[in-house]
A and B are shown apart, each in its own frame.
Chain A
Amino acid sequence: MSLTLGVLSIQGDVLENVLAVKAAIDALGIDGTVTSVKTPDEISKVDGLVIPGGESTTIGRLSVANGALKILKEKIDQGMPVLGICAGMILLSKTAQDKVVGNIDQPLLDILDIKLERNSFGRQRESFESDISLNSIGIPSFNGVFIRAPAISDVGSDVEVLSKFNEKIVAIKKNNIIGVAFHPELTSDISLHKYFVNLTNTLKN
Chain B
Amino acid sequence: MLPLSGERINAKGIISEKLDSVDTLRGSSTLKRGFAHMQKNGVVMDVTNVEQALIAQEAGAVSVMVLDKLPSEVRKAGGVARTASIKIIEEIMDSVTIPVMAKCRIGHVNEALVLQETDVDMIDESEVLTPADELRHIWKWDLTTPVVNGARSLAEALRRIEEGASMIRTKGEPGTGNVAEAITHIKKVNDELRTIKSIYDSGDNQDLVRMAREFKVSYDIVEQTAKLGRLPVVNFAAGGIATPADAAYLMSLGCDGIFVGSGIFSADDAQERANAIVLATTFWNESDKVKEAQKMIDERQSIPGLDVKTLDLRMQDRGGSA
Contacts and interface: CB of A to CB of B under 8 A. Distances in A.
Chain A, interface residues (CB within 8 Å), range = 35 or more
A129 B282 contact: no
Interface in A102-120: 104, 106, 118-119
Interface string A13-49: 1111001000000000000000000110000000000
A11 B34 contact: no
Interface in A39-87: 39, 53-55, 57-58, 61-62, 65-66, 86-87
A15 B36 CA distance: 13
A148 interface: yes
B19 A54 contact: no
Interface stretch (B56-64, B156-164, B301-309): B56-64
Interface in A87-130: 87, 98, 100-101, 104, 106, 118-119, 122-130
Contacts, number: 143
Interface stretch (B22-30, B78-86, B124-132, B177-185): B22-30
Contacts of A166: 19-20
Given A129-B25, A130-B24, A147 B34 contact: yes
A9 interface: yes
Interface stretch (B95-103, B209-217, B241-249): B95-103
A99 B84 CA distance: 24
Contacts of B120: 123-124
B278 A129 contact: no
Given A65-B279, A147-B35, A131 B40 contact: no
Interface of B: 1, 4, 13, 16, 19-20, 22-28, 30-31, 34-35, 37-42, 57, 59-63, 93-99, 116, 119-122, 144-146, 278-279, 282-283, 286, 289
11 contacts: A14-B40, A55-B38, A58-B42, A101-B96, A119-B97, A125-B27, A130-B23, A130-B24, A147-B35, A165-B19, A186-B30
Given A12-B37, A128-B25, 13 more contacts: A12-B41, A13-B37, A16-B37, A53-B38, A55-B39, A57-B57, A58-B278, A62-B279, A124-B31, A127-B26, A128-B26, A165-B19, A187-B30
Name the 9 nearest CB pairs between A and B, nearest first: A124-B121, A130-B24, A61-B60, A129-B25, A128-B24, A166-B19, A98-B97, A55-B62, A11-B41
